[in-house]
Amino acid sequence: MKKIVTTLFILGCTAISQAQENNSAADSAMMASIYNEVMLHGECYENLRYLCKSIGHRLAGSESAQKAIDWGKVTLEKSAADNVFLMPVEVPHWTRGGYEYGGYTFSGVQKEVALTALGGSVGTEGKRITAEVVEVKSFEELKALGEEKVRGKIVFFNKPLDATLINTGAAYGGGYPIRGQGPSEAAKLGAVACLIRSLTLADDNYPHTGATNYEEGVKRIPAAALSAVASRQLSQDLKIDSQLKFNLQLSCEAFERTMQANVIAEIRGTEFPDEYITVGGHLDSWDIGEGAHDDGTGIVQSIEMIRALKAIGYKPKRTIRAVLFINEEFGNDGGETYARICKEKGLVHVAALESDGGGFTPVGFNCDISDKQYELAQSWLPLLEPYNLFRFRRGGSGVDIRPLKDDRIALFGLHVDGQRYFDYHHTNNDRFENVNKRELELGAAAMTALVYFLDQTGIPAK
């Protein structure tokens, strides 16, 4: 009897081992199929070319953003998605206008600087503001000066990003509060305008825009970013002539909020159609450059995920969505609206994935997941590592999908080698030519592969 039980146990273990080997072989074959389809027949690079060159930048509320929405819907329909529809979203409508000027006279020489208005800034009402400049590196330095030394002047926040942080996103996060809150903090002490050093690690002459957030009840003053080169030069000149006067003119204007839309495509699930996996990026961009890395790449990678899965004949267990979110840059209206409507309809999201770090070489995924979910994700690494996807890093996912967070969903963000991302981010240099075709396609394939694993295993609740 003991010999029979032992034999049955050995046979059972052999069967389990054989099943595991079969599953691994099937997964490996699917990975190869995905990568072969994207790398040999991918359409994301040409889609990006059209988005950048035929439509261009896509500030929420603008005519070009609406053209991008229309293009996104048509392109997803061509991808053979089972269903494509628009989700109305109310967005802001702001324009920087056609004129921006910044400059000053130093030692009898007029210097014009590379400058761009911050998103949401008020204009100078057709006039040129001329005032002395006070330079600070932090809110603490500003407050230490006090109203007496700030009133009637232009505050210049000259704080470089921390170059010792290898994670460039963390460096950017350290500078973000100055762009967001700096103009209001300066206005509280009577400043007439605010300048900031662009949030970049590059030493170039491209100014970086981005949203500023005026505090309720505080006077709104014009706000602009100087390039890294212009910031360094202004700082040097102020050390020689602390009373030099800066001239600033902006033609920004805000309008009533308007209606635009998220674009959504689905491949319906065959076993669990009421469980959703959402993949996306943001369709809007700032109104300088072409919005290539931020976030045209995430958009075309999400579209490619749908196209590739349909092209290889994959029939998912769960419903897979690609969402082209509108207005991530200027308030995250697309992400907030999507999460609210999904929750109102009782849709169950098991996972969401976002690409918004640029179209650079993928190295893995960021993840906002539980220990149990993390353990499952780690088990996929042996199949992902041959494709140079080496890790799931805890912490962070993406702005657009973050509102979906609850006690169930697993959130992921494509993690790329982003050392050059903030060279292009929010600048006139964020153009199609600065995206590498192979790196873009590797990111699209990586996203599609992760979707496959999420769909096949079904990630456990937290």
- Return the structure tokens found at 359: 């179209």
The packing angle between helices 168-188 and 139-150, to 10°, is 20
Sign of CA dihedral 61, 73, 70, 431: positive
* Residues 6+ positions from 264 with CB-CB distance below 8 Å: 84, 85, 86, 87, 321, 322, 323, 324
Q: How far is CA 27 from CA 34, 381, 382, in A?
A: 11, 12, 11
Q: What share of the chain is helix, strand, coil (3-state, %, to 5)?
A: 40, 25, 35
Q: Are 431 and 263 in contact (CB under 8 A)?
A: no
DSSP-assigned letter for residue 188: H
At 299, the amino acid letter reads: I
Q: Is the distance from CB of 52 to CB of 290 less than 8 angstroms?
A: yes
Which of 328, 329, 354, 441 is labelled catalytic?
Answer: 328
Structure tokens given for 452: 């496959």
> What is the spatial distance between Cα 111 and Cα 208, in angstroms, rounded to a whole number?
19
CB 56 within 8 A of CB 290: yes
Query: Of 31, 81, 68, whose CA–CA distance to 325 is shortest?
Result: 68
| DSSP class per residue in 61-126 | TSHHHHHHHHHHHHHHHHTT-SEEEEEEEEEEEEE--S-EEEEEEETTEEEE--EEEPBT----TT
Between the CA atoms of 12, 15, 20 and 23, what dihedral angle is there, to the nearest 10 degrees?
A: -140
Instruction: Check whether the bond before 295 is cis (ω within 30° of 0).
Output: yes
Q: What is d(CA 176, CA 314) in angstroms, rounded to the nearest whole number?
A: 42
Does the annotation count 328 as an active-site position?
A: yes
Active-site positions? 328
